[in-house]
Amino acid sequence: MLSKIRALVCLGIVGLLVSCKSFDSLNQQNNNSQSTSVQPIVNIEPVSINEGDTGKITPMVFNILLKNPDGSGQPLASKDSIRIDYSTQPNNATPGPIGSDGTDYEDTFESTSNNNNGGTVIIPAGAVQGSITIRVRGDNTWEFDETFRLLMTISLVTGGQTNTVGNTETTGTILNDDNDPPITTPDSLTVLQDSALTTVNVIANDLDNPGDIVTLAAVSSDQGGTVSINVDNVSVDYRPAIGFAGTEIVTYTASDDKGATATGTLTVKVVRPQIGIRSAHAAEGDTGQRDMVFTALLFQPPELDPNGVSQPLVLPLATDVQVQYATADGFATTTGPSQAGRVAQAGSDYIASSGFVTIRAGSLDSTFSVPILGDLTAEEAETFTVTLSNPVRIDLNAAHTKAEGTIHDGLNDTGQTSCTDFFNDPLNPSQSSYVVSSCPVTAYPGQDAESGRDAALTAETRAKIGSGRAGTGFDWIKLDNTGKRIANQAATYTTTPWDCVRDATTGLWWEVKTTDKTLRDATQRFSWYDRNSANNGGLPGFPNGQACHTTLPNCSTADFVAKVNSQGICGFKDWRLPTLQELMTLVDFGAPSVQKMIDVNYFPNTFGFSSGTFWTSSPSADTLVIPFNPDPANNPKSVPVSSVWAVQFFNGKADTFFQSEDLQVRLVRGRE
């Protein structure tokens, strides 16, 4: 509420003093008071009254007292009559004529003058007091306290002559005595079926008069959900009934501290969990059949995510749920303009399958398999689809109702196209050794070069999609920075640089190192760092290596990956560190010694650092942890590091290195 306003304008005037000194009550007129040469002061106090209810008129009386100017506060009559002409001026109170509705006070008064916005009061000679009355109109609406100014002109009436001697004013305050009920605003909530208790502050967006305290007085629901008032007295605790899905209305009573109440609603949407499927991939092999494993998993509905994204559930359900699946020939949708892809055909590439998959109570997912068929044909990745339908006790997740099965042509072979024999020199045993030989070798049958993709190419039973070292199964495609094939696949890096290479066998895309002294330069090396605990083997590694010369915040693998993805090389932003198995697919054990163990005709600039050692994303099972500190003189704090696998292309071997070491990085994208 507004504070009571007490304010007066005080003026000293000739012949009459106008006072603003406060007084508590009007003293009884002194019977002995009589005219004197000493003139009194006019004292008029501010007035505050409650407005009352609609239809009620309450007089607001401003008392006027003539006082002795000696400070005694005693009444003192004037020898002359005193005339006070008054009018009102609104502040935030609304004036109106007599009998007008919707106004706060009446500003037309009964008076001896013709002024219809005020009146006149005469205090006769010898009298000590008078009054001015303003009619206040009541209402039943809460509002702030309202004020108006009472303006007065003071005159002396002597011998029939009226002489104005001064002006003064005071304030009238109309005090609100109404209490509006709270104004409730509808609330909404979305929860998962069979979810735990959820607390919602339903009072936070409700309104009431300033200063009023609003709390909950009662709460109920219409669909059997459990509801109660939280201990904070402004929140509702809600839990849906077991098995219920749909809309439930929770009704609550909001009450302010003056007893006014209002009814509000909380609309709860109880949504069922959803089921979806993730895409899968597998290498087809050369003969026979193998399984491609699909996973059906539980999702939370997108309504539960602030960004509207479906996230996998983290808590299992209490009941079994089921969904039907069926395969269908796919469509040519693979990654990038240089990879057209092809449709997988049921009967030749995979076996058409259908059935039901059940996620048991207490589980978050379940798997089923689709058989895929091997062949010896060099081909792009093939796709088929798996579609879910007819869910039982669960809803389908719209974003994951259909999945794609991708059949890759398998992993690369070793590149070894020659067999080995043992030459025994009986005359000079020290010269006995293993020698390269054509296949087969009777004494050493079943060697690497006699089987697999490399052998198939040697026997001219397969054709390549791209190109690669003759006699091997390696099949590479050079791509420019937009992801398109370069026109001349035989061009050298010096004449026509390329940015990426796509492996037509595995479907993987590989970054090509540069020699331009920028981010992807072959001489750049990075410490290994990954904060994702699901990938780092328990230790994130070392965030700031010492062997890169770029503007990266830190010389770590994580910073390098982030920067490359921000650039979107070859049209994509999903580049990552390769796994050990993926990086080993680049090793060519049959490569000429000048190329070491990788085809530099497709992967130039590999040996910017002498050993050509590149990080993988695969932590080692080696549990050795050492403290590492690159700058002990200035920083006494060490960082614990463990080991991660890397591939050395100068000898084709995989080995482990501490995360703090500085090694090269070649990024990959595609299946994982």
* pLDDT tens per residue, range 280-325: 877 787 778 888 889 999 999 998 888 888 889 988 888 899 999 9
pLDDT score recorded for residue 635: 54
Which band of pLDDT confidence, cut at 50, 70 and 90, is reported for residue 115? very low
Mean local confidence (pLDDT), 362-384: 84
Is 90 exceeded by the pLDDT of residue 481? yes
Is 60 exceeded by the pLDDT of residue 18? no
Mean local confidence (pLDDT), 480-502: 93
Q: Residue 559: in which H helix or E strand, if any?
A: helix 557-567
Is 80 exceeded by the pLDDT of residue 66? yes
Which band of pLDDT confidence, cut at 50, 70 and 90, is reported for residue 10? very low
Closest CA to 385 of 371, 367, 406, 365: 406
pLDDT digits (tens, 9 = 90+) for 648-658: 999 999 999 98
Closest CA to 238 of 199, 291, 289, 190: 199
Of 637 and 644, more confident: 644
Range name among 2-6, 369-373, 434-438, 553-557 with the lowest pLDDT average: 2-6
Domain 274-408 has CATH 3.40.50.1110: no
Confirm whether pTM is higher than 0.75. Answer: no
Of 5 and 143, more confident: 143
pLDDT score recorded for residue 507: 81
Is 80 exceeded by the pLDDT of residue 86? yes
pLDDT score recorded for residue 53: 87
Mean local confidence (pLDDT), 572-577: 96
Three-state SS at 266: strand
Mean local confidence (pLDDT), 563-584: 94
Report how far apart, in Å, the C-alpha atoms of 590 and of each of 317, 419, 605 are: 54, 11, 19
The mean pLDDT of the chain is 82
Tell me the two tokens of residue 85.
């002409």
pLDDT score recorded for residue 236: 98
pLDDT score recorded for residue 71: 84
pLDDT score recorded for residue 203: 96
pLDDT digits (tens, 9 = 90+) for 121-137: 999 999 999 999 998 98
Mean local confidence (pLDDT), 98-125: 67
Tell me the two tokens of residue 27.
């003293």
pLDDT score recorded for residue 1: 29
pLDDT score recorded for residue 334: 38
Look up residue 256 and give its amino acid. Answer: D
Report how far apart, in Å, the C-alpha atoms of 437 and of each of 364, 417, 446, 447 are: 55, 10, 13, 11
Report the CATH architecture of 41-175.
Sandwich (2.60)
Say yes or no: do domains 41-175 and 187-271 share a fold.
Answer: yes
For 20-86, give the DSSP string: ----SSPPPP-TT----SSPPEEEE--EEEE--STT-EEEEEEEEEEE-TTTT--B---SSEEEEEE
Mean local confidence (pLDDT), 37-48: 87
The domain ranges of the chain are 41-175, 187-271, 274-408, 476-628+636-669
Mean local confidence (pLDDT), 32-51: 76
Percent of the chain with pLDDT over 70: 81
Which band of pLDDT confidence, cut at 50, 70 and 90, is reported for residue 536? confident
Is 90 exceeded by the pLDDT of residue 520? yes
pLDDT score recorded for residue 380: 66
Is 70 exceeded by the pLDDT of residue 432? no
Q: Which residues pair with 178 in a beta bridge?
A: none
- Strands (E) across 193-234 are located at 198-201, 214-221, 226-229
Which band of pLDDT confidence, cut at 50, 70 and 90, is reported for residue 424? low
pLDDT digits (tens, 9 = 90+) for 392-417: 999 999 999 999 888 876 667 777 77
CATH class name, domain 187-271: mainly beta
CA distance 619 to 606: 23
Of 332 and 175, more confident: 175
